[in-house]
Structure 1
Amino acid sequence: MSKDLPLFYVPELNSERFQYLVGDEATHGIRVLRLEVDDEILITDGRGRMSSGVIASKSKRSLDFELLEDLEPEHKEPGFHLAIAPTKNMDRLEFCVEKCIEIGLGKLSLVICQNSERRQVRVDRLQKIAISAMKQSRAAFLPDISEPLPISDFISHERSEDLFIAHCRTGEREFLKSNSSPACLLIGPEGDFTESEIEEAVANGAKPVHLGPKRLRTETAAIVGCTLMNL
């Protein structure tokens, strides 16, 4: 797979020979990349499919392409699930989401905690950032991003993945290490989880962990945790 070819996200990608780019993807191809007929491109549906194609025709608002062949994705689907309390500053959360997806993120959940300073999040904005990060990292899997929900509701859900909770309070905690099986890491707000939230998580199977000797910002902790889980 050529690393020089531009990658486009087409969620409706199918087996038809001729398909098209519209919306933001078409705008990027026409106005930014200035693609012309016969230029080669890569296309992904965000669900693991990666294909090559060539521009067949163009207009002011759309690009038609001919589907050539399916390719083997460079990266496997990430098994890491991040559950994070949104930061007060949205720029920090957006930066965190971008970097975690570039590193390797399979799913993102937003949890509201007692100490949360932000309870409303524009998930549509995060989804656009996720698409951009997926393309930047040449990945074929777009992480699912869920609407914010109370941490108690999130913790009580049945899951097949291992659950870890990173916190700065006293008590026995292990250093977070790479996990061979699917795993979810809980990262709290700037004021950390409360004792009762930690106790509830542990009661529901979560393992307390730390990310090193220093106290980290929420977004930094998430990026460090994501990196450790992808080693």
Structure 2
Amino acid sequence: MHLFYQPGVDSPGVNSSDPVEFLSEDDSRHAVKTLRLGIGELIAVTDGHGNQYTAVITKADARRCTFRITSTKTTLPRPFSVRICVAPTKNLDRIEWFVEKAVEVGIERISFFFGQHSERRVLKLERLEKIAIAAMKQSLQSFLPILDEALSVGELLKTIQEEQRFIAHLPSVDSPGVDLPVHLAKAASIAGQYAVLIGPEGDFAEKEIQQAVAAGFQMVTLGPNRLRTETAALTACQFLNFINA
């Protein structure tokens, strides 16, 4: 069954007490023109907040495809949550790839920040939100992750409420008396609320690392290989999903 996204889907119709709604213009066109769905065919609709509705198409209009809800299924939030805080890459395609894949594998929140060494200083969320919605529908999920506007590191740290906080950073091997951090998969406890900081392509500035540590972030490694920003972000997300599997 095809899954569509419609915020506020479970609202009464104008002329009926039954819940009757309609798909967005883009989804209406996709349903009618591309998928060739017609009156009487079943679809699934989610509001992005854990509710998924089975519905029957009542009007196959490519501009406003209407449907009537026949049943409702509510999915509970996961017993853990993953928040990845990442600096946008210079090449926007790479951060778009991360958003798509992170939503597919499972993530609750993605926060963006501009660090001292960031090469990109402007980020518009509109396209990233569309990518997140498409990935949610493709992977048949009922929760749409939160995407936050980009902030400075200092401002971002003020928003962190998660108890388990990690910053993916390796100190210089030449630094005397510095112990290498533990792996994220070993540092994190299961069923936690996680926040992981992933630095820009130029890495964190020393002041930013000090700010994070002062805010309760534990330094961790993601493995022996040096990873690109978007790869590190997805790897962290997947490790946290894996330990909770």
Q: What TM-score, normalized by structure 2, do the two folds share? A: 0.88
Give me the CA root mean square deviation.
1.7
Aligned position for 2:116: 114
Distance 1:129 1:77, change over 3 A: farther
SS at match of 2:149: coil
Q: Which runs of 5+ in 1 are unaligned?
A: none
Residue 154 (structure 1) shift: 0.9
Residues 46-85 of structure 1 show CA distances to partners (whole Å, capped at 9, x for unaligned) of 0111111111112231111110111244984761001000
> Does the alignment pair 1:173 with 2:181?
yes
Distance 1:60 1:104, change over 3 A: closer
Letter in 1 for 2:149: E
Q: Which runs of 5+ in 2 are unaligned?
A: 13-18, 173-177
CA distance in 1, matches of 2:158, 2:5: 34
Q: 2:2 aligns with which of 6, 24, 37?
A: 6
> Does the alignment pair 1:205 with 2:216?
yes
CA distance in 2, matches of 1:130, 1:60: 23
SS at match of 2:9: coil
Give the paired residue count: 227
Residue 14 (structure 1) shift: 1.3
CA distance in 2, matches of 1:193, 1:205: 16
Q: Select the structure of larger CA radius of gyration.
A: 2
Distance 1:145 1:97, change over 3 A: same
Letter in 1 for 2:218: K
1:1-231 aligned within 5 A: 5-16=1-12, 17-73=19-75, 76=78, 79-157=81-159, 159-170=161-172, 171=178, 172-177=180-185, 179-231=190-242
Q: What TM-score, normalized by structure 1, do the two folds share? A: 0.93
Query: In 1, are the aligned partners of 2:100 and 2:132 still within 8 Å (CA)?
Result: yes
Following superposition, which runs of at least 4 residues in structure 1 exceed 2 angstroms of deviation?
72-78, 168-172
Query: In 1, are the aligned partners of 2:166 and 2:197 still within 8 Å (CA)?
Result: yes
